[in-house]
Amino acid sequence: MERKILLSEAEMPEFWYNIMADMPNKPLPPLHPGTKEPIGPEMLAPLFPMELIKQEVSTDKWVAIPEAVREIYKIWRPSPLYRAVGLEKLLDTPAKIYYKYEGVSPAGSHKPNTAVAQAYYNAQEGVKKITTETGAGQWGSALSFACQIFGIECEVFMVKVSYNQKPYRKILMNTYGAKVHASPTNLTEAGKQILAQDPNSPGSLGIAISEAVEVAAMNEDTKYALGSVLNHVLMHQTIIGQESIKQLEKVGDLPDIVVAPFGGGSNFAGIAFPFLRLNFDEGKKIRCIAVEPASCPKLTRGKFMYDFGDTVGMTPLLPMYTLGHNFVPSPIHAGGLRYHGAGAIISQLLKDGLIEAQSQYQNEVFEAGMKFAKAEGIIPAPEANHAIATVIQEAEKAKQEGKSKTILFNLCGHGNFDMTAYEAYLSGKLVDHEVTAAEIEASLAEIAPLQV
């Protein structure tokens, strides 16, 4: 049995897949928060280079990956796809389990797939500096690496609690030449406003986004980059699923179920959208499951509404499953999954029943990650452990039912910088936090006035 299925550089996909072309119902348009009218691409021009704005609204099914981007991708792509032989044995399951491993990228996650593309388009349009936010530090590391390659300055607003808890991610960004601030800062009006209300604010992704957007909006030669949620970001990640399809073809397999953890939707989209294309084009019935933490359950318990992408309310209003932009999730260890909303495309797909969502508790998640690490050797990112928890449950179901089943999941990053999270689990300090219905209702009531 082949354990590791590889593609050559020549077999690397040449196009990204744009699911907008195939969606039965397109996402609702983003709205101007003042007029509540759909915004035109020109409103995004201060923040993003023109080419990315075009991609954001494109309905072309295939978008060519620039040669210069493919050249950088070759540092780690095509990434390996593994048969989880050890995990199957440990679980004694008739299910076949495969995983696509994105932890081989320089930053250790799937995020460089879009960071490199975004830095490239910015460089093409003469941008000198890119600002961004980062939570756990994975997006900041990926963008720092990509900016360095294309000679662009990178300024990162890192959520303060992570800045203090994860010094190594900050140093990684510094090593790639980026400037990193603990957010909220007093460098921006948004940061000052938050600090005035709470000088000890631990920060949040929403606040850090507000800061990064403000700096980009105020400076002519500076743009902003987002690591998830937006249509073009999701599209850049589809190289993951396209490679997976080619790799599984080599061993004559196709999954019944595709699983990925869910923060803003980019790694889920990356692995799942190319398989959804097979559902659209070839009538396949592949189940795609997004897995979120029980403490930040926007897909399973949030509401489909218009909401801001950030906390202060600087972004357009986006149609999405959300817990409300003021929702502050409990400080769980999967920092990348602590976002209040989901992308417009993902939200529409979920609303239309074309994808599924589940939530998992933190202790179950880390128990799954421990099993995987012991059986396969790779230490998964805490985010990825959410997917592994669902994979194990599906594999156990297959065993009870005595049925074979093929499962593919996205091992979207390694957890080598996340030892404090594993330490907390090992010493029994992780708590299973569940949001109450009243907390969700109260947070959603605050965004009711934003509706059209």
In terms of Cα–Cα distance, which of 311, 294, 55, 67 is closest to 198? 311
**Among the listed residues 113, 266, 358, 359, the single contact to ligand PLP using CB under 6 A:** 266
Contact 350, 409 (CB under 8 A): no
CA distance 321 to 332: 20
Which window, 159-167, 244-252, 377-385, 389-397, contacts ligand PLP (CB under 6 A)?
377-385
Instruction: Report cis status (omega within 30 of 0) of the bond before 78.
Output: yes
Closest residue to bound ligand PLP by CB: 263
Contact 299, 268 (CB under 8 A): no
Shortest distance, position 112 Cβ to ligand PLP, whole Å: 10
Give the angle 83-89-94 at the CA atoms, nearest 5°. 80
CA distance 257 to 391: 9
**Among the listed residues 336, 361, 372, 425, the single contact to ligand PLP using CB under 6 A:** 336
CA distance 290 to 292: 7
Binding letters toward ligand PLP, positions 388-427, x by CB under 6 A: ------------------------xx--------------
Of residues 106 and 264, the one with the C-beta less far from ligand PLP = 264
Of residues 78 and 264, the one with the C-beta less far from ligand PLP = 264
Which window, 158-166, 262-270, 277-285, 313-321, contacts ligand PLP (CB under 6 A)?
262-270
Q: Does 362 bind ligand PLP (CB under 6 A)?
A: no
**Among the listed residues 77, 111, 129, 170, the single contact to ligand PLP using CB under 6 A:** 111
Of residues 302 and 413, the one with the C-beta less far from ligand PLP = 413
Which window, 34-42, 280-288, 376-384, 442-450, contacts ligand PLP (CB under 6 A)?
376-384
Q: Does 267 bind ligand PLP (CB under 6 A)?
A: yes
Shortest distance, position 261 Cβ to ligand PLP, whole Å: 5
Among residue numbers 78 through 97, which ones bind ligand PLP (CB under 6 A)?
none
Q: What is the 3-state secondary structure (H, E, C) of the chain?
A: CCCEECCCHHHCCCEEECHHHCCCCCCCCCECCCCCCECCHHHHCCCCCHHHHHHHHCCCCEEECCHHHHHHHCCCCCCCEEECHHHHHHHCCCCEEEEEECCCCCCCECCHHHHHHHHHHHHHCCCCEEEEEECCCHHHHHHHHHHHHCCCEEEEEEEHHHHHHCHHHHHHHHHCCCEEEEECCCCCHHHHHHHHHCCCCCCCHHHHHHHHHHHHHHCCCEEECCCCCCHHHHHHCCHHHHHHHHHHHHCCCCCCEEEEECCCCHHHHHHHHHHHHHHHHHCCCCEEEEEEECCCCHHHHCEEEEEECCCCCCCCEEEEEECCCCCCCCCCCCHHHCCCECCHHHHHHHHCCCCEEEEECHHHHHHHHHHHHHHHCCCECHHHHHHHHHHHHHHHHHHHHCCCCEEEEEECEECCCCHHHHHHHHCCCCCCCCCCHHHHHHHHHHHHHHCC
Shortest distance, position 176 Cβ to ligand PLP, whole Å: 16
Of residues 109 and 185, the one with the C-beta less far from ligand PLP = 109
**Among the listed residues 265, 309, 324, 329, the single contact to ligand PLP using CB under 6 A:** 265
Among residue numbers 221 through 250, which ones bind ligand PLP (CB under 6 A)?
228
Size of the site for ligand PLP (CB under 6 A): 20
Shortest distance, position 235 Cβ to ligand PLP, whole Å: 13
Of residues 93 and 141, the one with the C-beta less far from ligand PLP = 141
Shortest distance, position 209 Cβ to ligand PLP, whole Å: 13
Q: Does 261 bind ligand PLP (CB under 6 A)?
A: yes
CA distance 386 to 240: 18
Of residues 255 and 413, the one with the C-beta less far from ligand PLP = 413
Binding letters toward ligand PLP, positions 139-168, x by CB under 6 A: x-----------------------------
Shortest distance, position 369 Cβ to ligand PLP, whole Å: 12
Binding letters toward ligand PLP, positions 170-209, x by CB under 6 A: ----------------------------------------
CA end-to-end span of the chain, whole Å?
Answer: 56
Q: Does 264 bind ligand PLP (CB under 6 A)?
A: yes
Q: Does 259 bind ligand PLP (CB under 6 A)?
A: no
**Among the listed residues 13, 203, 255, 263, the single contact to ligand PLP using CB under 6 A:** 263
Shortest distance, position 175 Cβ to ligand PLP, whole Å: 18
Which window, 34-42, 59-67, 261-269, 319-327, contacts ligand PLP (CB under 6 A)?
261-269
Which residue ranges make up the site for ligand PLP (CB under 6 A)? 109, 111, 138-139, 228, 261-268, 336-337, 381, 383-384, 412-413
